[in-house]
Structure 1
Amino acid sequence: MAKQRPGFIADPVMRARAVSPLAGHIETGQFGVAVGQSPSVRLGERFGLSIAEVTAWKGRESKCRAAIKATASAALKVAPGSGSVKTAAGAFNIAPMRWLVSGESPELVANLADAVSEDGTVTDLSHGRTVIRVDGEKSRWVLAKLFAVDLSDAAMPRGNGLATAHHDIFAQIQRVGADAFDVYVFRSFARSFWHLLCRSAEEAGYRVD
């Protein structure tokens, strides 16, 4: 583990012991499609990720972007919403001087805190967020029912993301593939959002693995 700066306590997700807020609420299979037809949307939870928010002090933005790149292999641009996603980690801009960083490594948040050092702050969100993957040819169509944002190729290239909301449910969305999006919501809203997402996908037909 990286050497942590004073005052920072890492609390990595212990996947063998952690319990998803969606436990008992995720039903696998195909829904909303006739026998023999293929669903247009795939839904699933990305459970056990390490998630952190990095906020740069004024004038230290470039150093924080460099720290994120060194830790999560995510090369970030200056433009609002810009991001980068790799197989095991990714990051995107959620507000001026603020980035959401996530990955599969249990050491990610501690390593980020060490890399950012005195150039900003790192907040561990691993235990307070649920990440749901929405994929498939009609993924944008389903998400457009819930969020009034532009998810087109031109507006959101792969890796980029944004912060938005569906009524009182705050969400951060990152495009992670050709038709794939990761939606970050507060853990306390996870069940409500999951059921809402499933109902929204019924018309297109969806699969839960």
Structure 2
Amino acid sequence: MAERQSSIGKAYVPGDHGNAAAGIGVTLRERKGLSIIQVTAWSDMVSSMLTAIGSATGLALQNKPGLGRVAGEKSVFGFAPGRYFVVSATPELETRLRSAISPELGTMIDLTHGRTVIRVSGPRSEWILSKLFAIDFSEHAFPVGYGRATLHHDIHANIQRIDDETFDLYVFRTFARSFWLTLGHAAEEVGYRVE
């Protein structure tokens, strides 16, 4: 399968940018080659759906708001009641989920070609994201693995915390270039690297 063209296009300029005199505050990169599946459980089937997702991915999940797990290139996170993003670097993710999730549990849709995933990492990642989104990015309010759905003006984003200093942002492909430029402007004051 051929790799899809980046929706960020010519705005993706590798190297160091902004005020890097005191070092690089954040690193930005587009994550490619991912399968992104949205799973929605019927209201009385959430626990069974989480078990099925765990069976297909190997990621055990607890039924609580914002839940999430990360293991290497695989991740799962909740962003609304009974709604989850399931992400993997393997193209057979949808097939594995379809074999584990029956129609009695809920629905699923492949969003792979509709989203761009931007990874923001580094010691100033919380600071930069707090400039763009009205949510608390501190680790006590946004633990590792957990996810949130939010907006930056009219641009919807799903965000998952990957580790202490790393977040993955899922944005619609049609807004990816505009959001990438906004993210770069927000990061200029602390210096940023595009990989």
Q: Tell me whether the two structures share a fold, i.e. TM-score over 0.5.
A: yes
Identity %: 48
Consecutive aligned runs of 4 or more in structure 1 exceeding 3 Å deviation:
none
Q: Does 1:83 pair with 2:68?
A: yes
Q: Which runs of 5+ in 2 are unaligned?
A: none
Correspondent of 1:116 among 97, 101, 105: 101
Range that drifts further, 26-35 or 196-205: 26-35
The equivalent residue for 1:154 is 140
* Cα displacement (A) at 1:34: 4.5
- Greater share of helix residues, 1 or 2? 2
* Cα displacement (A) at 1:197: 0.3
Describe how 1:18-37 pairs up with structure 2 within 5 A: 18-34=4-20, 37=22
* Cα displacement (A) at 1:38: 2.2
Correspondent of 1:105 among 86, 90, 108: 90
Amino acid at match of 1:145: K
The equivalent residue for 2:40 is 55
- Greater share of strand residues, 1 or 2? 2
Q: Does 1:42 pair with 2:49?
A: no
Calculate the aligned-residue CA RMSD, in Å. 1.2
Deviations 1:8-45 (A, max 9, x none): xxxxxx3x34111113220000011356x521100000
Q: Does 1:173 pair with 2:165?
A: no
Deviations 1:92-148 (A, max 9, x none): 111111111111010101211221112111110000000000000000100001000
- Paired residue total: 194
Q: TM-score, normalised by structure 2?
A: 0.95
Q: TM-score, normalised by structure 1?
A: 0.89
Q: Which runs of 5+ in 1 are unaligned?
A: 1-13
Amino acid at match of 2:187: A
Instruction: Check conservation: 2:9, 2:177, Cα contact below 8 A.
Output: no
